[in-house]
Every structure is written in C-alpha cells, then in structure tokens.
Amino acid sequence: MAELSIIARPYAQAVFELAEAGGDYAVWSDELGVLAAISAHEDMMALFSNPRVSRQQVADALIDICRDGISNEGRNLVRLLAQNRRLPALPAIAAQYEKLRADAERTIKAELETALPVSEEEQGRIAQALKDRLGREVELQVRMNPDLIGGAVIRAGDLVIDGSMRARLDKLATQLGT
C-alpha cells in the first residue's frame, strides 16, 4: 500500500500541475475517478499482471473501456502508466490528486455520521463550525448509523470528533474495568 502511494505521488503531482495550468480541476477529478474505478476491478487487475498481454494492449483495453470518458491527455496518461507498468497505481493517483485539489481549493470533505436524522439547518451549522475551525470550505456528507445509539461522529481529514453515545458507553465501561 505504501509502495503504491510512493509510486502515485509524482504522477498525481504532474496531473495536478496540468489541471492547474488548464484551470479546471474537476475534469481531471472526473477522469481519474473513472480510471481508478475501472482499474480497481479484479478483472482489470488480472489483465495488468498478465504476462501474455503487452503493455500497449493493456493501455488500449483500458482506453476502450473508458471510451469518451477520458480526454486525449487522459489517454496519454494511461499509455504512460501502462508503459511504466504503473496502472495498478491509478486509485492511489486519483486519491492523491484529490488531496492536492482540496488543498488548492481550500476545501475539505467531512462526514457526519449520526444515529438520527439531522435537519438541513443543523447540517449548515455543523458545516459552518467546521469551516471556522479548519479554515476551509466544508463539503459535508451525512450518513445514518443506528449503531451509534445517539449523538454523532464527525470525520474531516485527520480530525475525528466522536460525540456518540456508543463512544461514551465504551469509555464508561473502560473506566469501570469491564
């Protein structure tokens, strides 16, 4: 896993610089998302490691599957990665690109996991509080998890705020020595 992230770093940086020069991060996000999803499929992973299939054939197969979902620059990236036997790194490249994009756009994706439904107004207040704390625009995704019993868990990058009843009960059990 760490090896793929090391391999992915220079490719993600190069794609980010292309996107920055073109002034459109979203296009590359979409293309890398498509490429990462397809390349992570077990059949594609098997194709990548098949010694009977040439690098060119692997690149052509991936490009054909994507059809019009990728630009000429995206096709060139696929060919380059295939030539260097780096296609399995596509999901890691996409993930690192998204981090670079978020830093450039001063945004962060946050997840609000709750036991009960949360109103739009409450979501707005939570997003604003996170924005004030993190100094970034917050893209809040809400997910219900009845196992929390009550309360909520917020995850934003490395920040985790666990205000769930489950966490409080676990803490109490630990203090009681059970």
18 phi/psi in degrees, rounded to 5? -65, -45
Provide the CATH number for the domain formed by 2-102 in this structure: 1.10.520.20
**For the chain, counts of helices (H) and of strands (E):** 8, 4
Predicted pLDDT at 146: 86
Predicted pLDDT at 2: 58
Where exactly are the structural domains of the chain? Answer: 2-102, 107-176
Q: Are 38 and 44 in contact (CB under 8 A)?
A: yes
User: Can you list the residues of the chain whose pLDDT is less than 70?
Assistant: 1-2, 178
The model's pTM: 0.73
Predicted pLDDT at 85: 92
Task: For the chain, give the mean pLDDT.
Answer: 91
